[in-house]
Structure 1
Amino acid sequence: MLKSISTSCLATLVCCFNLLLHSYAFAGVPSNETDRLALLAIKSQLHDPLGVTSSWNNSINLCQWTGVTCGHRHQRVTKLYLRNQSIGGILSPHVGNLSFLRLIDLADNNFYGNIPHEVGRLSRLDTLMLANNSFSGKIPTNLSGCSNLINFLAHGNNLVGQIAANIGYNWMRLEKLSIADNHLTGQLPASIGNLSVLKVINVEENRLSGRIPNTLGQLRNSFYLNIAGNQFSGNVPPSIYNLSSLELLYLRGNRLIGSLPIDIGLTLPKLTNFVIAENNFSGPIPNSFSNTSNLVMLDLNLNLFSGKVPINFSRLQNLSWLLLAGNNLGNGAANDLDFITPLTNCSKLIALGLYGNRFGGVLPHSIANLSTTTVQINMGRNQISGTIPSGIGNLVNLNGFGIDLNQLTGTIPHEIGKLTNLQLLYLDFNLLEGSIPFSLGNLTLLTELELQSNYLQGNIPSSLGNCRSLLSLNVSQNKLTGALPKQIFNITTLSLYLDLSNNFLNDSLPLEVGNLQNLVELDISRNQVSGEIPATLSACTSLEYLNLSYNSFRGGIPLSLSSLKSVKVLDLSSNNLSGQIPKYLENLSFLEYLNISSNHFEGKVPTKGVFSNKTRISLSGNGKLCGGLYELQLPSCGSKGSRKSTVALFKVVIPVTISCLILLGCFIVVYARRRRFVHKSSVTSPMEQQFPIVSYAELSKATGEFSTSNMIGQGSFGFVYRGILGEGGLLVAVKVLNLTRKGAFKSFVAECEALRNIRHRNLIKIITICSSIDSHGVDFKALVYEYMQNGSLEEWLHHSNDQHDVCDLSLIQRLHIAIDIAYAIEYLHHHCQPPIIHGDLKPSNVLLDHDMVAHVGDFGLAKFLYTCQVDDVETPSSSIGIKGTVGYVAPEYGMGSEASMAGDVYSFGILLLEMFIRKRPTDSMFNDGLTIHEFAMKALPQRVIEIVDPLLLLEVRTNNSKNPCGDGRGGIEECLVAVITIGVLCSMESPIDRTLEMRNVVAKLCAAREAFLSVYDLM
């Protein structure tokens, strides 16, 4: 009986306990049901192209959902991990209901909108990782409620506002703080110094200003401090130099002043990276750096340091980067470079940058004993004398060697030909003599070769023709003799310039000059070249500057040169040319200056185009010219004049003119040499050397104060305006960067860097840049391009208007445009060193000139493919990360893959399909897994005619009516099938399946065009 009573009591207790739990749950106590509802609310706000959250449903337990981790004890959500899953959308405030969360990792996605204030309710949270998204707004002040936070990483977003002043009073457990690459303003709060366990602080690339707070010196556990790329000013607090735990210190790109403590190498014994470039530090380099045995990078570039380099580098076995360029180091003394010899003990050295200082003395031959890991040596613009050691050939990994603008003598050692990885070789403006070594032909990766302004003799070696990657070659102002080697004119990659001027070269200009279709500048002036100007020169359609003056050319100006529609400066003066001035010269719309003086031209001078302005032409020394502008004071073409006046002209005026020309020519030679030297000697950035800076006021005037009536476009990082620049009334397009947008400044730098190194008829040409402040004192940056009269391909495909209706874009025009685009990308991939990835190929970035020639533009996301790697340490790159545009960006980029040529191939494939189907890849018809790629692939080959732009079908029917036999329809259909096939092959989802490179694409598209034209001619 007792036993049955006990059993009954136990059952009652269990029942009561279950009832209690049930009522407890219904009383509102959170459970994992709360978590489930919160997660579903979060999912509802997401764009999830990869279907990562597809498992978030009622069929399985939430603890098995992708990216979700639960605690074992309470089955509550403790971790939300969705890093790098291409997820977009906003982060729902319901995240604040996941009260057991310890970790949120949403890094490397496409989230936007504000960081929810509700995150501040997560008191257990220790890690919040939001990096590399597009979160905007301010950092919520109530994040202070996350009192257990250890890691807060929100770099690479669009966050604005100031850092909370009380940050140092709430996150007392914080170890990592990274809010770099945002738009934060104001000062760095002094309270940060209270975060005693903080190890990493990174606020790089914001707009923080004021003084660096002295309280940072209290962070005794910090090993990483990065405040680079801001607007901090004044002296660095001495307390920072006493943080003995510091390993990496980055102060680059601020407005800091003062000298470095003499004992810095003793107070910071663990230093590995010390980067303070682009400031105003001055004084001597402390000798105590000799004690920083762990030092890997010492970057003091672009400061005001002076005196000797006193560091004993033999102790710094780990040193890889020694960058001292752009200072006042050295005294022009014999022992200035004594530090080079101990530097040979640095077995991991990668880069040595000494450019633009005052180093004197003889170049130590011990430079040839530097580590074979060395990739770059730049010692240009100093006062270094002596000879180049033959042992330089030992540095087999060297890809950049610059020792220009010095006082070197002797010969160029033939051993330099052993440097088969060399891409940049600058030996110009020295006193070198002897011949150009034949071994330079071994440098097949060479992209820039500068040998000008020396005393080099002998022939230009034909072996240079093996340098098939050259973008520029300059051997001007030497004493070179012999014929112009044909092999040089077979280097089709030459695009920046070919300068052979001011030598003693002879014979004729080879017919192979027509191979230089991408060349922008050709100068063979002041030589002894004879013969006629070859008609093949007409193929050089990218030429902007052509100088053949002071030679012995004879005959007339070939009519075929009318194809040089890009030429801006044409100088044919002081030759033996004759005949009439071709009338087509007045139709070259870009021609700014024409000099045909001191020849034997006769007949009527045109009056239009370049001939309409006296200051833009030079015709003197041609005794039989007539007509033209009144200001030229030439005889009327109807008047013969008296024999007496003609004799007087020959006896008096002509000799005086010739004498003046000779004096003027001497002055020009001296001035040009001086100007080129001064220009290259000045301490300016590469893009300022390439592009003259225009002021904000000039651009404001040109665009009507950036009037909305002049706005012609809007891009990811700003607006584009039509403008009329300067007194010459040059029509331009002005791209004004919106610097409040994340990535805008990097886009500006990337675009300048890309466009300063590339030249191609199908790439947009940059005219100038503006880097200034506007009328309100705010940073202002703009790029000025040549104006494209026919707008963008986007407008032609999708926006009919009065200027150009889509009906006018025929099949053959689309083929021409597609081939132009393909040529441009093929040039970037296969003829640039390093190769360039465009990264954002789409119709709005393809512009059409007055002849409907396509020009690819917007290099704001361009990336250089630097492939050099030594001991697993990559060379720094000036590139920025690629994001691209939805619909055109390669799928693998969404998975975190690096930028690649295959990514551009994908974008081109999508663009090609869009051109001929006339549907955007984001069209509403492409949903539920159907893409423009799938749509096109399913139609191949029989149903292609059903999916292409109906306007093309109208063209097929029209042409077919002219050819009742049907030959035209079949030929055009075959052309369309070929084009759509190319688009499908280029846009395969996996990069491995994209078997076509852009050079293959060019060949296939050209073949399709030829096939189409052959059929079209039959109609």
Structure 2
Amino acid sequence: MSAPAAILPPKHNNNLTDRSSLLLFKSKMISLDPHGVLAAWNDTLPFCRWQGVVCGRRHPDRVVLLNLTSLDLVGTIPPHLANLTFLRRIFLSSNHFHGRIPQELSRLSRLQILDHSNNSLSGMIMSELSHCLGLQTIKLSYNMLGGYIPSEFSSLPSLYRLDLSNNGITGQIPESLANTSSLKSLGLSYNLLSGGIPVSLGKLSKLTFLNLGGNNLEGSIPPSLWNLSSLGGLGLAHNQLKGSLPQDLGQGLPHLKHLATNSNKLHGSIPMSLSNSLQLSLIQLQNNNFNGRIPPNLGSLQHLRILLLYGNQLEAREPLDWSFLTSLNNCTILEVLQIDQNNLRGLLPKSIANISVTLQILTMATNSIEGSIPPEFGNIVCLTTINLGFNHFSGRIPASIGLLKNLHTLELYFNNFSGEIPSTIGNLSQLNELYIEFNSFSGSIPVSLGHCKSLVGLNLAYNSLTGMIPKEVISISSLGIGLIFEENLLTDTIPLEVGSLVNVGILSLSGNKLSGEIPKSLGKCHLLQILHLGRNFFEGSIPTSLSALRGLQELDLSQNNLSGKIPTFLGDFPGLHNLNLSFNNFEGEVPRKGVFVNKSGISVLGNDKLCGGDPILHLPICALSGPKKIHKSPKLAVIISIFSGFLCLFLLFLFVASCRWIRQRSRRKPTENYTVKEQHISISYAELVKATNGFSEENLIGSGNYGSVYRGTLDDHENDAKVIAVKVFNLQQLGALKSFVAECDAYRNIRHRNLIKILTACSSVDFKGNDFKAMVFEFKHNGSLESWLHPEGNDPFGRKTLKLTHRINIAIDVASALEYLHHHGQAPIIHCDLKPSNILLDDDMTALVSDFGLARFINESTTSSTSSFGIKGTFGYIAPEYGMTNKVSTHGDVYSYGILLMELFTGKRPTDGAFKEGQTLRTFVNDGFSEGLINTMDEFLLANEVQASDHSQSINHAKAFECVSLVLRIGLLCTNDLPTERMEIKKVRNELNEIKNKFFGRDNDAENCNKVNSTSI
């Protein structure tokens, strides 16, 4: 402690002592008071009249209150404050104090309130404060205090408020806190507390505020927190209990108004007895692992205003499970109800329309709720936010939605809504965000949407909307986040009023039937960052007015009828990292700077008249701009004429010889079976119908989100046959066409022994004139990895199991394929959907990665790519960060690989029904290292090793445990929550190779190296 000798003993306390202590406090300030408060602490006024200083009535020369809140003071708190022995209240919050809280403050026996919150104080929480027996409030939140909660605080008989939130406090909540019987407010949120919620907290019968959120608390909520007068509320009624209930259950918390245990690791069901705390106004239980039904008696909480239950595993399957929603109709002042990200299923009860008219926020997203929105929904007139995205809602949006005049946000994305968008949405004058993408809306875009002059984000993508883009909608100048109409059936031109979008960041109209020229007025959208106009029928040249879009990052004009030269100004945009001009009619020389020298950021395929540019584009050299005059002599002319004649004769000879060779070869019968060796063979719809017997059900291998795969036999003219797999895309499904294009782009750029090889693609029409898209692959008789790990009863592979050697080799093969995709292809590719069903096994059990329908090309320098509105991948294999951002990255593929690796050696899916109470495949594997690895490994793995006939290729149990242990640790490292903490895929492959060599020897090292390390065929 600094200058302890300066602290005078109590017998010398007088007005000079208090004045000197205040001046010493002033001297410890590094920044002398930017608001000028401490500057006035001088001899011009008595110290009791200094700002922030209050003296007592009975002792007018002694300081009883020091209030220096929010003055931006910088410095340390000096121990000399302990000389202010009459001090009752200290308010030093919201400054920049640092260092430790002086222990000498514990000598202030009259102290009632200590508020040092919102500073940068460090060190341990002072147990010595328990000496200040008169303390009523301790508020030390928003500092950097650490250590444990002192158990000595229980000896403060008058303490009614304890706020230690937002620090770095560790350890458990001490049971002794329950002895602080006068406590009314307890705030311990956002620390590092662990363990469970003490049962003894039920003794704090005066508690009105309890906030334990943002810690690492585990276990269930103890029933002792609720008043036990109703045993039925505890689920104990109608039982024959033996003995008495534990005495430490306490009297419950009948006066509790605010309960927050959010963002912990709590599990179990939400107690029915929760409703016994009748004064509850705010309940925050979100982001835990609670399961079971939502209590149906919450309606008895007449004071309930906010109910947050999102981010749990709460269930509703039967109509009875939804009775909680009907019960909430009795909560007449309810303002916020958030139950998204749970396991709620079944029909949405019509009683939702009878909920309190005071409701402002309603979110039910990311569940599996069905049914339609009842017309009476418009009665909830105070609603400002509705989020029903990622569900199975269907039917039309009721016209009554237009009655919600206070609505700011309406999110209905990823559902099955149909019909026309109601024109009454135009009545929502305060609407800021409208997201209804990925549904089945039809008809035209309502002109009335133009009345929503406060719109910031508008997304109608992936529907079946037709007609023109209303000029009233595309001229809403408030649009700042984006206007996204991609993948619809919109026609005509882009209205010139598009120039009114002066604040818009994203404009995406790709995948429609728009035509005409790109409007010059687009150049007025100076804040535009992403412009997608691909897959339309635009013509003409790129307007020079687009040179004003200096902030452009992505520009997609692919698959149109654009012509002319590529403007050089595109190479001057500093942030442009993705430019797609492919499949147009551009001509002339390609610029040589900016994005045009970025191999992975530029695509000019399908423009046959382009030349020059950077060598990475592999374009022909441009011809000279003007002819050069050649002065010929008569002798030179004769020589040229003779040479030309000989050249013509030579070419004629080659032509005749080639025709004769082709004619002779066509007469020769081939001696080996037909194989498809061409890079792209030609195949028609009729041939595929014949090969698959009309795409019959008996030839159906499997189906996915965007189509089905059939087995077929392809005949050539010589009656030789080849077994093929035909992937037929269901173009009625939203996103199927995009998936087909993504796969074509991927297979055009990849070639590796551990990637499935495409034979051809078919883009045609069927016999009814409908569009038809399919891809043809070689049929793999060993099926998918999914069929080996999880065989069905009628599976042709039966109960065949994978040896340990097979599993190691498959893991290496998949890692090798990922390394190639991420680092060795023409452009880095993210697969986005790695799972066992997308891993095929060749005749020699070589693993082949397939299905690139969700694949994304990325910029090599960023290792990530923006994905348009939606999570990429399959539930259970998706990286956790994909749920919070629209960025996909190589780290996400590594996470999926880690899940696949653990599934390969445990035999359990990430969605296995055996996982209960928040357990995941990752926690199951992690627990296996402490609870016994034998309970974690696939039960068929060791049995197969014991029965192996070739004992040179099998290993004993002990070594098998060690081998699997090393592999599973790699799986855990690949699935860390933080993307940057995951292993690099190259390191994964190297370590798996070392494990294989350690346990199975190096007999085939040369073969293995060729197998694992090759990056292309």
TM-score normalised over the length of structure 2? 0.57
> Residues 526 and 548 of structure 2 are in contact (CA less than 8 Å); yes or no, is this contact kept in structure 1?
yes
Larger displacement relative to structure 2 (480-489 or 88-97): 88-97
The amino acid across from 1:177 in the alignment is: L
Which of 156, 163, 176 is residue 142 of structure 2 equivalent to?
A: 156
Corresponding residue of 2:132: 146
Query: Any unmatched runs of 5+ in structure 1?
Result: 1-24, 246-260, 699-769, 778-1019
Write the deviation string for residues 843-885 of structure 1: whole angstroms up to 9, x where unpaired: xxxxxxxxxxxxxxxxxxxxxxxxxxxxxxxxxxxxxxxxxxx
Corresponding residue of 1:579: 564
Corresponding residue of 1:893: none
Separation in 2 of the partners of 1:588 and 1:407?
43
> Does 1:486 pair with 2:471?
yes
Which of 5, 12, 20 is residue 37 of structure 1 equivalent to?
A: 20
TM superposition shift of 1:221:
4.8
> Residues 278 and 302 of structure 2 are in contact (CA less than 8 Å); yes or no, is this contact kept in structure 1?
yes
> Does 1:96 pair with 2:82?
yes
SS of structure 2 residue aligned to 1:367: helix
> Does 1:450 pair with 2:435?
yes
> Residues 360 and 385 of structure 2 are in contact (CA less than 8 Å); yes or no, is this contact kept in structure 1?
yes
Corresponding residue of 2:924: none
Residues 680 and 330 of structure 1, relative CA distance in 2, 3 Å threshold: farther
> Does 1:667 pair with 2:740?
yes
What do you get for the CA RMSD once the two structures are aligned?
A: 4.5
TM superposition shift of 1:677:
5.0
Write the deviation string for residues 61-115 of structure 1: whole angstroms up to 9, x where unpaired: 6555555454555545151232536262544433222223333334455544443
Residues 31 and 340 of structure 1, relative CA distance in 2, 3 Å threshold: closer
The amino acid across from 2:404 in the alignment is: L
> Does 1:119 pair with 2:315?
no
> Residues 868 and 886 of structure 2 are in contact (CA less than 8 Å); yes or no, is this contact kept in structure 1?
no
TM superposition shift of 1:368:
1.9
Separation in 1 of the partners of 2:586 and 2:333?
64
Separation in 2 of the partners of 1:141 and 1:288?
35
Write the deviation string for residues 140-171 of structure 1: whole angstroms up to 9, x where unpaired: 554444343333223233434444454445x3
Which of 503, 528, 545 is residue 518 of structure 1 equivalent to?
A: 503
TM superposition shift of 1:469:
2.0
TM superposition shift of 1:353:
1.3
TM superposition shift of 1:433:
2.2
Residues 284 and 237 of structure 1, relative CA distance in 2, 3 Å threshold: closer
SS of structure 2 residue aligned to 1:337: helix
Write the deviation string for residues 724-768 of structure 1: whole angstroms up to 9, x where unpaired: xxxxxxxxxxxxxxxxxxxxxxxxxxxxxxxxxxxxxxxxxxxxx
Write the deviation string for residues 564-622 of structure 1: whole angstroms up to 9, x where unpaired: 33333322122111122223333333333322222222233344433335543333333
Count of residues in Structure 1 that have an aligned counterpart in Structure 2: 660
The amino acid across from 2:740 in the alignment is: F
Corresponding residue of 2:948: none
Residues 212 and 773 of structure 1, relative CA distance in 2, 3 Å threshold: farther
TM superposition shift of 1:627:
3.5
TM-score normalised over the length of structure 1? 0.57
> Residues 91 and 111 of structure 1 are in contact (CA less than 8 Å); yes or no, is this contact kept in structure 2?
yes
> Residues 320 and 348 of structure 1 are in contact (CA less than 8 Å); yes or no, is this contact kept in structure 2?
yes
TM superposition shift of 1:553:
0.7
Corresponding residue of 1:84: 69
Separation in 1 of the partners of 2:386 and 2:9?
76
Separation in 1 of the partners of 2:10 and 2:320?
85
Separation in 1 of the partners of 2:275 and 2:519?
62
> Does 1:617 pair with 2:813?
no
Separation in 1 of the partners of 2:38 and 2:57?
22
Which of 191, 205, 210 is residue 206 of structure 1 equivalent to?
A: 191
Larger displacement relative to structure 2 (600-609 or 507-516): 600-609
Write the deviation string for residues 172-198 of structure 1: whole angstroms up to 9, x where unpaired: 543332222333445545554554444
SS of structure 1 residue aligned to 2:595: helix
Write the deviation string for residues 377-408 of structure 1: whole angstroms up to 9, x where unpaired: 11222222222222222111111012222222
Which of 504, 519, 543 is residue 558 of structure 1 equivalent to?
A: 543
> Residues 209 and 259 of structure 2 are in contact (CA less than 8 Å); yes or no, is this contact kept in structure 1?
no
> Does 1:128 pair with 2:324?
no
Write the deviation string for residues 616-646 of structure 1: whole angstroms up to 9, x where unpaired: 333333332334455655444339999999x
SS of structure 2 residue aligned to 1:377: strand
Corresponding residue of 2:793: none
Corresponding residue of 1:465: 450
> Does 1:321 pair with 2:309?
no
Aligned residues: percent identity?
41
> Residues 265 and 292 of structure 1 are in contact (CA less than 8 Å); yes or no, is this contact kept in structure 2?
no
Residues 441 and 73 of structure 1, relative CA distance in 2, 3 Å threshold: closer
TM superposition shift of 1:525:
1.4
SS of structure 2 residue aligned to 1:79: strand
Residues 374 and 86 of structure 1, relative CA distance in 2, 3 Å threshold: same
The amino acid across from 1:118 in the alignment is: E
Residues 565 and 463 of structure 1, relative CA distance in 2, 3 Å threshold: same
Separation in 2 of the partners of 1:268 and 1:26?
44
> Does 1:688 pair with 2:884?
yes
Residues 474 and 77 of structure 1, relative CA distance in 2, 3 Å threshold: same
> Residues 148 and 173 of structure 1 are in contact (CA less than 8 Å); yes or no, is this contact kept in structure 2?
yes
> Residues 572 and 596 of structure 1 are in contact (CA less than 8 Å); yes or no, is this contact kept in structure 2?
yes
Corresponding residue of 1:544: 529
Which of 326, 331, 342 is residue 357 of structure 1 equivalent to?
A: 342
> Residues 151 and 176 of structure 1 are in contact (CA less than 8 Å); yes or no, is this contact kept in structure 2?
yes
TM superposition shift of 1:473:
0.8
The amino acid across from 2:216 in the alignment is: Q
Residues 635 and 201 of structure 1, relative CA distance in 2, 3 Å threshold: closer
Which of 403, 416, 420 is residue 435 of structure 1 equivalent to?
A: 420
Larger radius of gyration: 2
Which of 627, 637, 661 is residue 622 of structure 2 equivalent to?
A: 637
SS of structure 2 residue aligned to 1:361: strand
Write the deviation string for residues 966-1010 of structure 1: whole angstroms up to 9, x where unpaired: xxxxxxxxxxxxxxxxxxxxxxxxxxxxxxxxxxxxxxxxxxxxx
Residues 299 and 138 of structure 1, relative CA distance in 2, 3 Å threshold: closer
Separation in 2 of the partners of 1:775 and 1:428?
32
Q: How does 1:892-907 map to 2 (within 5 A)?
A: none
> Does 1:297 pair with 2:282?
yes
Separation in 1 of the partners of 2:320 and 2:159?
50
Residues 265 and 310 of structure 1, relative CA distance in 2, 3 Å threshold: farther
> Residues 289 and 311 of structure 1 are in contact (CA less than 8 Å); yes or no, is this contact kept in structure 2?
no
The amino acid across from 2:160 in the alignment is: E
Separation in 2 of the partners of 1:504 and 1:688?
30
> Residues 337 and 360 of structure 1 are in contact (CA less than 8 Å); yes or no, is this contact kept in structure 2?
no
Larger displacement relative to structure 2 (600-609 or 318-327): 600-609
> Residues 298 and 327 of structure 2 are in contact (CA less than 8 Å); yes or no, is this contact kept in structure 1?
yes
TM superposition shift of 1:330:
2.9
Which of 484, 498, 512 is residue 499 of structure 1 equivalent to?
A: 484
Query: Any unmatched runs of 5+ in structure 2?
Result: 1-7, 231-245, 626-646, 660-677, 686-727, 744-852, 856-866, 895-975, 984-1017
Corresponding residue of 1:339: 324
SS of structure 2 residue aligned to 1:458: strand
SS of structure 2 residue aligned to 1:384: strand
> Residues 621 and 654 of structure 1 are in contact (CA less than 8 Å); yes or no, is this contact kept in structure 2?
no
> Residues 565 and 588 of structure 1 are in contact (CA less than 8 Å); yes or no, is this contact kept in structure 2?
yes
Separation in 2 of the partners of 1:488 and 1:658?
43
Residues 639 and 619 of structure 1, relative CA distance in 2, 3 Å threshold: same
Separation in 2 of the partners of 1:612 and 1:32?
78
The amino acid across from 2:378 in the alignment is: G
Separation in 2 of the partners of 1:657 and 1:493?
50
Corresponding residue of 1:534: 519
> Residues 460 and 484 of structure 1 are in contact (CA less than 8 Å); yes or no, is this contact kept in structure 2?
yes
